[in-house]
Amino acid sequence: SAVISQKPSRDICQRGTSLTIQCQVDSQVTMMFWYRQQPGQSLTLIATANQGSEATYESGFVIDKFPISRPNLTFSTLTVSNMSPEDSSIYLCSVVSGRLWEQYFGPGTRLTVT
Site residues (vs another protein, CB under 8 A): 4, 31, 33, 42-45, 48, 56, 92, 94, 96, 100-108, 110
| Shortest CB 82 distance to another protein, Å | 26
Question: Given the complex with another protein, which of 8 and 107 has the nearer CB atom?
Answer: 107
| Shortest CB 85 distance to another protein, Å | 20
| Shortest CB 97 distance to another protein, Å | 10
Question: Given the complex with another protein, which of 14 and 53 has the nearer CB atom?
Answer: 53
> What is the length of the chain?
114
Question: Given the complex with another protein, which of 13 and 45 has the nearer CB atom?
Answer: 45
